[in-house]
């Protein structure tokens, strides 16, 4: 498939997809790279200077708002009734504490702060206000208006971190404000003293009502204590007797334990002897028997006889009288040993019985002494209880008696814990209204309202007004800003179009002829005027220029040159005419050829989709340096989108403060999706009066730089004035 030219020589060449019949225009060019079809709109950066310029540009609106605010504030301040405020301060000293052991007792800082907060509520009570109102003669019997009038004009607030209260009263009469406030404080002090006296008397009455029962209770406890001491069975003598009984108990306990131990030892020995006797064993192994001197002597004699018997048996027979005699003597010694053992056992049994009896006696005495100690403890506890009750009743009675005396003294003296630090004086100047403060607040409020109004209107305004708006919101290059000019200021607009010409030369991709599509997002943004003036500027500079009115919906170029729209672009595309046959010229611009629309077709997009339209542009490239197409708005129809595919550059005209940013963004996205190269944006019909702060420096060079002369095509010549707005 051969390549179809899209943007002319030097421009991008798009390959038609398979299956597309020949002659179909290249509007199916591939989309831009990097997902440009669905690129997200970047959030504009906030520039503080933009807001400064915005506020400065609307300074007269802000001044008007400030003036109105100050007039309203001044009228309010000078027409209201003047109110005067008198102020006094009182200090709250330590409050009397009758429940203490002294009339004035120190309290903590926190307690004093809470007391001060409570007194604020007391001062603002209706009871005190009614009392002051009666003294001043405000209101009448059963009428609380005077009290409410005082409370409405009274303000009480504690001074931070102190025990001082600040009272203020507002009144139209400065003397009344001071007098009423001083009287209010005096009545507060009086009612405070009365409350203290009343509270003291009530406390005194309560104490007096409790003294007689306390005295009777003390006497009863004292009588119980005496009766206990006089009891016959009372064992209590003193703390010394308690110690003696305790010592005796400890001694008997030790003796009893020792006797029991000795009895158990003897009982063990006797049991052992009984076992030996029952087993016919000798008791020589027992310590009492082995250590007995008599038994030791008898055993020694026995041993000697046994030795002698053994020697004799070697000589004599067992029946010999000597042998019998020795055996008889040995038997006698055994009998003596047995008798001695029996005596030892009897001695042990006797000693055992004595130990046992002593143990029992000690146990009986110990039990009796323990019972006595328990009884003594019970009586001691009872005595301590009676003694404690007596002492407690006595102490409480003495304290209440002392408080009764102190309360009696307090009830006869007026206790005041409120001290006036700074009495109220007659105010010299009104408190409210304060004209100076009111005017200052009105000025500040007016500034806030004015600036807020300007910023709010700017926020509501979604149009484009500055080149910075073009960059921030449209993401495109702002080429020039064309002012709303007249015949007297056309030199400024002329120089602006010269700048636009230079910008297009820089933006051109090659040095060959360039096809420029001039369009806008919505109608009435000045695209036709921009295209015509741009064509004239290019032609004046020496370039051969062709301008085509491609707005087949609502053509306007023939009105600018004041000619009939009989033949034109449609005649060329349909093959009925050539460019030279339908081109119009202007006498003072010889290098400019103008082609109007000609007869309007029923379906303009179909006309721009023809190959003859592309061939016409190719033929125009051979003869002209610049071909400018004036197309319909993008948001209205698709004509500009179709034509953008076969042009080199697209110039978008945005009217100052006209179309919404969203509509313009949508239009530029449609152009970008076709692969069109947008050279930039022309900001048209700029209101210099409204945004003079911004564009003053922008146009000062053009306005005052050349005087009555201007440079065109490299030659200086006298500036011509024109009455027509479109003829620059």
Q: Taking each helix axis from N to C terminus, what angle separates 145-153 and 174-229, rounded to the nearest 10 degrees?
A: 100
Residue at 446 is within a domain: yes
Residue at 134 is within a domain: no
Give the whole-number percent of the chain exceeding pLDDT 70.
79
Query: Is the same domain home to 674 and 525?
Result: yes
Range of the domain at 283: 239-378
Query: Is the same domain home to 441 and 365?
Result: no
Res. 239 pLDDT band, cuts 50 70 90: low
Assigned token pair, 93: 């000293």
In the prediction, which pLDDT does 618 show?
92
Residue at 151 is within a domain: no
pLDDT tens by residue, 703-714: 544 433 333 333
In the prediction, which pLDDT does 280 show?
46
Query: Is the same domain home to 360 and 491?
Result: no
pLDDT tens by residue, 57-107: 778 888 999 999 889 988 888 888 888 899 999 998 765 554 444 444 455
What average pLDDT score do residues 22-29 get? Answer: 38
Rounded Cα distance, 599 and 570, in Å = 6
Spatial strand order of the sheet with 154-158 comes to: 154-158, 164-171, 84-92, 418-422
pLDDT top residue among 430 and 108: 430
Query: Is the same domain home to 372 and 484?
Result: no
pTM for this model (two decimals): 0.48
Residue at 4 is within a domain: no
Q: What is the CATH number of the domain that holds 601?
A: 3.40.50.300
Query: Is the same domain home to 669 and 573?
Result: yes
Query: Is the same domain home to 452 and 487?
Result: no
Query: What backbone torsions phi and psi does residue 501 show, to the nearest 5 degrees?
Result: -60, -45
**Residue 200 pLDDT more than 70?**
yes
Rounded Cα distance, 728 and 493, in Å = 7
Residue at 444 is within a domain: yes
Query: Is the same domain home to 665 and 581?
Result: yes
Query: Is the same domain home to 450 and 489?
Result: no
pLDDT tens by residue, 483-510: 887 665 577 778 888 888 888 888 886 7
Res. 394 pLDDT band, cuts 50 70 90: confident
What average pLDDT score do residues 173-199 get? Answer: 88
Query: Is the same domain home to 610 and 527?
Result: yes
Residue at 310 is within a domain: yes
pLDDT tens by residue, 282-336: 545 667 677 778 878 888 888 888 888 888 888 888 888 888 888 888 888 888 8
- Taking the CB of residue 594, how many other CB atoms lie within 10 A of it? 25
In the prediction, which pLDDT does 7 show?
41
**Residue 646 pLDDT more than 50?**
yes
Residue at 719 is within a domain: no
Res. 520 pLDDT band, cuts 50 70 90: very high
Query: Is the same domain home to 338 and 283?
Result: yes
In the prediction, which pLDDT does 411 show?
57
In the prediction, which pLDDT does 261 show?
85
Residue at 364 is within a domain: yes
3-state secondary structure of 368: helix
Mean of pLDDT over the chain: 78
**Residue 467 pLDDT more than 90?**
no
**Residue 573 pLDDT more than 70?**
yes
Query: Is the same domain home to 442 and 542?
Result: no
Query: Is the same domain home to 443 and 317?
Result: no
Rounded Cα distance, 446 and 441, in Å = 8
What average pLDDT score do residues 405-419 get? Answer: 68
Q: How many domains does one find in the chain?
A: 3
């Amino acid at each position: 498939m051969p390549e179809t030219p899209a943007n002319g020589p030097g421009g991008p060449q798009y390959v038609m997809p398979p299956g597309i019949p020949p002659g179909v225009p290249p509007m199916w060019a591939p989309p831009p790279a990097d997902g440009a079809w669905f690129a997200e709109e970047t959030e504009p950066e906030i520039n503080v200077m933009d807001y400064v310029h915005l506020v400065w540009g609307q300074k007269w609106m802000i001044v008007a708002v400030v003036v109105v605010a100050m007039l309203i504030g001044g009228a309010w301040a000078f027409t209201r009734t003047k109110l005067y405020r008198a102020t006094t301060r009182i200090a709250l000293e330590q409050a009397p504490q009758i429940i203490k052991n002294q009339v004035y007792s120190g309290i903590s800082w926190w307690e004093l702060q809470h007391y001060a907060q409570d007194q604020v509520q007391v001062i603002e009570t209706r009871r005190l206000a009614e009392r002051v109102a009666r003294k001043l003669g405000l209101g009448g019997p059963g009428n609380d208006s005077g009290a409410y009038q005082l409370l409405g004009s009274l303000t009480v607030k504690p001074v931070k971190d102190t025990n001082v209260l600040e009272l203020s009263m507002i009144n139209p009469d400065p003397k009344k404000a001071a007098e009423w406030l001083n009287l209010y404080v005096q009545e507060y002090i009086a009612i405070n003293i009365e409350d203290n006296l009343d509270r003291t008397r009530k406390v005194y009455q309560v104490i007096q009502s409790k003294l007689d029962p306390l005295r009777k209770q003390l006497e009863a406890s004292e009588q119980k204590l005496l009766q206990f001491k006089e009891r016959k069975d009372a064992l209590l003598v003193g703390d010394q007797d308690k110690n003696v009984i305790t010592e005796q108990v400890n001694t008997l306990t030790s003796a009893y334990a020792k006797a029991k131990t000795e009895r158990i030892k003897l009982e063990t020995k006797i049991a052992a002897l009984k076992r030996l006797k029952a087993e016919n064993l000798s008791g020589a192994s027992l310590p009492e028997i082995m250590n007995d001197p008599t038994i030791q002597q008898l055993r020694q004699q026995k041993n000697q006889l046994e030795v002698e018997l053994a020697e004799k048996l070697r000589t004599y027979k067992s029946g010999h009288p000597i042998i019998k005699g020795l055996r008889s003597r040995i038997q006698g010694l055994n009998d003596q040993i047995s008798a001695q053992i029996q005596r030892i056992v009897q001695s042990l049994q006797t000693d055992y019985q004595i130990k046992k009896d002593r143990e029992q006696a000690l146990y009986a005495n110990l039990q009796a002494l323990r019972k006595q100690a328990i009884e003594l403890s019970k009586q001691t506890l009872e005595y301590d209880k009676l003694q404690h009750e007596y002492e407690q009743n006595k102490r409480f009675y003495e304290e209440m008696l002392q408080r009764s005396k102190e309360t009696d003294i307090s009830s006869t003296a007026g206790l005041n814990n409120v001290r006036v630090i700074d009495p109220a004086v007659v105010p010299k100047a009104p408190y409210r209204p304060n004209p100076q403060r009111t005017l200052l607040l009105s000025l500040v409020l007016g500034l806030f309202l004015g600036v807020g109004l300007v910023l709010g209107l700017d926020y509501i305004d979604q149009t484009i007004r500055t080149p910075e708006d073009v960059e921030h919101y449209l993401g495109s290059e702002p080429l020039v800003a064309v002012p709303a000019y007249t015949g007297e200021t056309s030199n400024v607009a002329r120089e602006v179009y010269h700048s636009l010409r230079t910008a297009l030369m820089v933006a051109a991709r090659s040095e060959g002829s360039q096809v420029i599509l001039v369009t806008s997002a919505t109608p009435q943004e000045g695209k036709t005027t921009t295209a015509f003036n741009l064509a004239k500027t290019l032609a004046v500079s020496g370039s051969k220029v062709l301008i085509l009115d491609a707005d087949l919906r609502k053509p306007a170029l023939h009105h600018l040159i004041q000619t009939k729209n009989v033949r034109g672009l449609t005649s060329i595309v349909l093959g009925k005419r050539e460019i030279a046959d339908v081109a119009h010229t202007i006498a003072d611009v010889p290098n400019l050829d103008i082609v109007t629309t000609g007869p309007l077709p029923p379906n303009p997009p179909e006309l721009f989709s023809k190959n003859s339209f592309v061939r016409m542009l190719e033929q125009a490239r051979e003869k002209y340096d610049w071909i400018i197409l004036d197309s319909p708005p993008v948001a209205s129809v698709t004509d500009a989108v179709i034509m953008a595919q076969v042009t080199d550059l697209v110039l978008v005209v945005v009217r100052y403060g006209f179309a919404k940013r969203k509509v313009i963004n949508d239009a530029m996205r449609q152009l970008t999706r076709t692969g069109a190269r947008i050279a930039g944006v022309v900001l048209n019909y700029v209101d210099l009066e409204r945004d003079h702060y911004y564009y003053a420096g922008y146009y000062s060079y053009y306005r005052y730089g050349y005087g009555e002369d201007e440079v065109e095509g490299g030659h200086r010549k006298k500036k011509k004035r024109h009455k027509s707005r479109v003829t620059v």
